[in-house]
Chains A and B, each alone.
Chain A
């Protein structure tokens, strides 16, 4: 493993430096049929789950085959995608906003051959490399985060939870059986790097124990005022601590005020809080981002805690399945999960799904909490 220079000269770092060139222009990468019909599309059809047809004013057609991916992927797999795109699609492909991959061709015959090829590819362990689906009223890919693969603040894993949920919901990915599309998101802590706050179903990693305080190191590695300002509930204050006769500048945390968000740890490495038994998942439902019929909605917490159960998180998977089955059976056509829950009333949502309602689900964060209580005698028994 001998070092190989790229041409960069560490003695003259600013020499030959190219900067501020941004991304490549997308126009270089558009398949010719899209380039020729840019802004001239007439209509589209979903031919079958995972297969779309767009027809242009000119009469040109483009067939799109959408496949699930794990998002975390190797370059060997990307090379395989490139081989497929070279063989069927003149060397073009794209990725979606939910991290699926789309292959495009300009005729039905090519589309059928492409689909057959994609469906035939599997990993040695047996899972599909390129399952076709993710269109229409079904469950598409799960928008997710780093988890234990790369981040230091997670309360759960992302790649693992996503895999087990999608295994269970696989038939919903490859079908159009739902009343409306169901968007699922996973975030491994409250920073929610992704779409949890506005998804039909959101899995969020949470802690349930206050941070540990590494008094002997804290002042050396943290800016104490930043840690104090980072707390949404004002639980952190400066303090002096004596250990073995030595004085340290540090912080104190009012435990009864801390709701374990972990933001002080984000700002200060001496306040770690992850914990095997304490950490787990809060489940949220009912969010959406599109403006269709109803306005965009936040997702709401309906299960305050589900334990981490690696590697297959059975309780989490079962709870999601239960909610989806009830929604599927009960909601009207075009009704997103949040629209359905609001129509029947949250008391009915809990009754029908059998989920226990606990005090944790009642908002107690500052002034806006009041607006989530019920100022009415309108309710169902």
Chain B
């Protein structure tokens, strides 16, 4: 920590223009941990967006937040890292730590910021041990590395499921300042966006997740997974095999290359349990596996395993839950 003379933490918020993402609330908790380790150093937040007053008001209610810097421009209506990174760099002056969520937003933006600041990045942090020392999973979560950084600015992306989401208080306390910047011309243009519509809870923050795999056999049969999820008030997930077979869209994929989840209850239906998939769900509190192959590797991590034909078992489960 000796090389960090004055500690000061900056959180880059992720939001949809109306509210902060759940990941940002986990990043605030990580920022608080660093602040505590650095003798309660200040935590500031940067909001880059277009007309995102609601986001700013929401962030003001977190007592840990000292100051909110706002960069507001129509060019920030969509999160394009080529446009965002120079603004983050401008705002970063004087900070020892810059944090964002390890979502596709943070993964896309933060390495660009790191390179512009000529420092390394600590990706997908699951634990903060000291202001310059963290733990992060490597090899699809099959090993944990303790890493120490000697960079002058320590840039981290935070794994959302490894830190609790911070709860706001009633009183808005943080001060707000507008950041002055020059909007640079960009070689990237936003064309369109296609979001998966769902009434279900968000996959990465749901208390219950029901996931289906190749064993479901077809897109129509996947409805059984959806029915069970709805009865439990949970989110649906999928293995890569189920996504590749076209049963569900790819943003529902759980695993090393998809989303990492850690719900109270994870039910894996017709999923064999490849290393890649296990990496995305093995931190769940309770894991249930339903599979017709008693030797499937998923049973090695499942607290409760049920061997049998899922087309007989699932309807019975749905009816009795």
Do A and B associate with each other? no
Residues of A participating in the B interface, judged by any CB pair closer than 8 Å:
none
Residues of B participating in the A interface, judged by any CB pair closer than 8 Å:
none
